[in-house]
A and B are shown apart, each in its own frame.
Chain A
Amino acid sequence: MRFALAVGTFLILVIHGVILYNQFSHKWEAHQIAYFNQAKAMAKGEAERASLEARGPRIEQTVVADFGETRVDRCITCHIASDDPRFSTYQQPLKTHPYSLAMGDVQKNGRWERRHKFSEFGCTVCHDGQGRGLSPKDAHGEDEYWPDPILGAAVQENWRKEFVPMLRGKEYLEANCAQCHTGAHFTGTPTVRKGMDLFYASNCYGCHRIEGLSDGTIGPDLTEVGRKFKIDYLYTRIKDPKSVLATSIMPKFNMLSDQDIKALVIFLKSRKGKNFSETEMDRYRLRATGGAELVQAHIKPVQINPAQMAKQGEQLVLDRACTACHKLGAKDGAIAPDLSFEGLVKDPAWLDSHFRNPRITMPDSIMPAFRFTDDEFKAMTSYLSGLKAVPAMPTPEATYKALCLRCHGEKGDGRGLIAEHLDPSPRDFTKAAFMNSKPMGRLVASISKGVDGTSMPAWGKLVDEKQATALLGYIQTAFVKEPRQEPKARNLPAANPVASSPESIARGEATFVNRCAGCHGRKGDGKGPNSLDILPKPRNLRNGLFMASVNDTRLFDSILYGVQGTAMPSWIDYGMSNNDVGDLVNFLRNLNPKPKGGQNAGTI
C-alpha cells in the first residue's frame, strides 16, 4: 500500500513535470531564439542590438481581415525571418520569403519591396494551411481532415502517393492568386485560365453550376468547391468519377490529359464562393444575369462555312465532348444513346430542337441544353443527319446486339449499359406477362416507329417489318422464354365515351387522387410515394409526347386491363366502369397541352 502510494505520487510528479517542460520547450521558441541570436550578430548598431535584446520568444500573429472571413495567421511565429532580407540563404523556417517580379515585388534603390505585404495579406491567403497551428503538422494543414494543405514547393504527406508527382504544390498557388486576380488576361494565373477554358470546352458548364460562370443543374454546384474538397480528391473525381462515387453519372472525359485535369483542379480550387476582388455590385449583376452572358463570352463560337457544314459539325461534335456521354463509332461515353446511325433514326428538325432544349423532344432527358450558336447547331445537325451507315445485321441476334443491347441489356432485362440514365427505363423483355399481353402489331410498331417521349427510337429505316418480326421472335426465345400467344381481344371502346367537360375532368381528378396518385403521384409525374419500390417505374403521365402518341383506346386498355408484368393493376377488378375511365382519360388529356412536335411528328 505504501509502495503503491509512493510510486503513484512520484508518477504524478513526473507527468506534471513533463507537461510543464513541454510548455516551455516549443520548437517555435527555439526558432525564434536562433533568429534573435543570428540577428544580434548581424546587427549594425547598438540600438538595433538593444531592441533585439528586449525581444523574447512569443507567439506572433497577424489578423487578416480583408480576405473573406477574418483569419489569424501565426506562421510568423516560426517563420520569423520571412521578411528579413538578410536570411535569404538560411534554411527553413528561418528563410526569407523569396522576392520575385512575378509576384509584383519591385526593386527600389537596390532594395526589394513587397507587393503583397505580410501585414496585410498574412500567409494563408496565398499558401493555405492552418494559420493558427503552431506545430508543423497542424500549421501546414497536414492533418487528415484539413481541406487546404499548405501550397508551396512541398509535397504533402497526406496526398495520395500515386498523385504526388502531379501535385507539386507551387503551381497550385495560382488557385489562390485567382481569388483576387480574376481578370481574363492576368498573366500570373495561366493554369487557372486554362482550367476555366477547359471547363467550358469540355462542357462541364452544362451540368455544373458555378455562380457567375455557369448554371447547369444536373451535377453538384461547384461555386464553393475549392473550399470543400482536397486537391487529390478533385483530381481523382475528374480522372475517374466512379472510383470515388460509384453512383456518379459524371462521364469519364478520356480526351483530357493529366495536365488538363491538373488545370481543371487548379481552376476548381480557386472557386471558394467569393472572389475577394468582387464588389457587392459585381455580385448583384452576376446574380441578375445568372451567368448566361459569361458562358456565351467564354465559348468561342466557331465560324461555320456553309460548304463545309457537315465537316465542321463533325469537328464540333468531337471537340465538344459529345462522346463523353454518347457512343459514336468506337468512342463510347456509356451514358447516352448511340449516335452512329443518327441520320436514319432521327430527322434534322428533331435533332435541331433536341440540341436547343433536349427536354422538348425527350421530357425526362438528362442532357443539358448547351449554349452553342445557331450555326453550330445547324452544323452538328447536318453532320449527325448524314450518319446513315446501316450496320451489318445478318441475323436477328446481330440486330439485337447492334441496336437494342445498349439499352435493353445482354439478358434482355432492360438493364443495358445506359439504362440507368434513361427515363422511362427500357422495357424488360423477361417479363413474359407483358410481352404476351401485347398484340404483335403493337410490338412491331414500337420497333419501327419508336415510342414517343422515350429514348426508344424509330428503327424503321434500319429494320423492315420482316426483320422486326424476326427480331421479336429472337427476343421471345432468348429472353421471354415462353411461347408466343396472341392475347385475346379485349372489350374496349373505340373512343372515349365521355365528352370532355370541366365536370368530367373534376370527376377524373377525384378518381386519380384516390386511385392513381399513390404510384403516379399527385401531379401525375410518376413520382408517387409508392414509385420508389416499383420497377418499372410508374409512367410519367405528364410526358406530353408519350401521352399524345397513345390513343384513348390504349389508355382504356392499360387502365381497365392493367399492364401485365408491371405494378399497374387491372382496374376492372376494382369496379371501375367505362365512364370512370372516361373521366380519368379526360383528366389526363387535360394535364398535357398539345405537344410541339414528337419523334413521329416529322418525316418518319
Chain B
Amino acid sequence: MAVSRRRMLAWITGTGLVGSGVLSAVSNFVFIKPRATYGQPQRFSIGKPDDFPAGTRIALEARRICVVREGNKLAALSTTCTHLGCIVGLADTGFACPCHGSRFDSDGTVTGGPAPRALPWYKITLAPNGEIEVDKDTEITPGSYLTL
C-alpha cells in the first residue's frame, strides 16, 4: 500500500514532536538531581583497622561518625542527632545530645529526650588498599558489624 507524501510528512513531524516531548520528560527526571555534589564526599576511608584497636569507641567529629570496634568486629554509627541535627557526644551510657537532651544507648537506640529515631548505622567495607571505607549514603540494620 502506497503511503501518500502528506501522510509520511505528518508521521515524521509527529514522531519528532512526540519523541522530543518524551526525551524532555526523561531529561527532566535524569537531570533534576545533580550528578556531583559539593561538600565532603559521603564515601570516604578512615584509615587502617590497626588504627582502631579492640575496644575503641571514637567519634570522628569532622566526619560525624563514631567508630566502634569490639574484638574483630567494626561498625560506624552516625553522631548526628535525629532530632534537630546536633552533634551528639559520647557518654558513659552511649550518646547524649548537649543541646536538647536526647539520649541514646551504645547501639544508638533512643533512651530518652526528643529524638524520634535511633542513630543510623553506616555501611563499612574494607577497601582493596586495606583501609576502612565508610559509606554514609547506605544505612544498614543496627547491630550488623563488619568482621575483619
Contacts and interface: CB of A to CB of B under 8 A. Distances in A.
B39 interface: yes
Contacts of B12: 6-7, 9-10
Contacts of A85: 128-129
Contact of A60 (B13, B17, B39, B41): B41
A72 B39 CA distance: 8
Contact of B128 (A47, A58, A84): A84
Nearest to A76: B41
A72 B38 contact: yes
A579 B108 CA distance: 99
B24 A16 contact: yes
A39 B128 contact: yes
B129 A83 contact: yes
A404 B40 CA distance: 69
Contacts of A466: none
Contacts of A23: 30-31
Interface string B113-148: 000000000010111111100000010000000000
Contacts, number: 83
B20 interface: yes
Contact of B27 (A10, A20, A83): A20
B41 A83 contact: no
B36 A59 contact: yes
Contact of A10 (B15, B43, B131): B15
B16 interface: yes
A574 interface: no
B15 A63 contact: no
B40 A83 contact: no
A90 interface: no
What class of interface size applies to chain B in its complex with A? 35 or more
B58 interface: no
A8 to B, nearest CB: 8
A119 B44 contact: yes
A113 B45 CA distance: 14
B85 to A, nearest CB: 20
B48 interface: yes
Interface in B78-120: none
Contact of B40 (A8, A17, A58, A63): A63
A273 B116 CA distance: 50
B9 interface: yes
Contacts of B26: 20
Interface in A3-17: 3, 5-13, 16-17
Contact of A5 (B13, B19, B44): B13
A2 interface: yes
A74 interface: yes
A285 interface: no
Contacts of B44: 119
A39 B125 CA distance: 14
A62 interface: yes
A86 interface: yes
Contact of B45 (A39, A86, A111, A119): A119
Given A17-B23, A63-B41, A72-B38, A6 B128 contact: no
A62 B41 contact: yes
A84 B20 contact: no
A598 B6 CA distance: 102
Nearest to B26: A20
Nearest to B130: A111
Contacts of A10: 12-13, 15-16
Contacts of B36: 59, 61, 74
Contacts of B43: 60
Contact of B9 (A5, A11, A59): A5
A91 interface: no
A206 B147 CA distance: 64
A20 B40 CA distance: 28
A51 interface: yes
A6 B13 contact: yes
Contacts of A60: 41, 43
Contacts of B38: 63, 72
Nearest to B27: A20
Contacts of B48: 113
A60 B16 CA distance: 36
| Residue among A3, A13, A60, A114 with most chain B CB within 10 A | A13
Interface in B32-61: 35-36, 38-41, 43-45, 48
A20 B35 contact: no
A16 B23 contact: yes
B126 to A, nearest CB: 8
Nearest to B8: A6
B23 A6 contact: no
Contacts of B128: 39, 83-86
Contacts of B127: 83-84
A117 B44 CA distance: 12
Nearest to A5: B13
Contact of A13 (B9, B20, B123, B131): B20
A111 B129 CA distance: 9
Given A83-B129, A86-B128, A113-B48, A12 B20 contact: yes
A588 to B, nearest CB: 65
Contacts of A59: 35-36
A2 B16 CA distance: 13
B142 to A, nearest CB: 19
A120 to B, nearest CB: 10
Contacts of A113: 48, 130
Nearest to A26: B35
A435 B48 CA distance: 87
B86 to A, nearest CB: 22
Given A20-B26, A63-B39, 5 more contacts: A6-B9, A9-B20, A12-B16, A16-B24, A84-B127
7 contacts: A2-B9, A6-B9, A6-B13, A62-B41, A63-B41, A85-B128, A85-B129
The 7 nearest A-B residue pairs measured at CB: A9-B16, A6-B12, A84-B128, A59-B36, A6-B9, A13-B19, A10-B16
Interface of A: 2-3, 5-13, 16-17, 20, 23, 39, 47-48, 51, 54, 58-63, 72, 74, 83-86, 111, 113-114, 117, 119
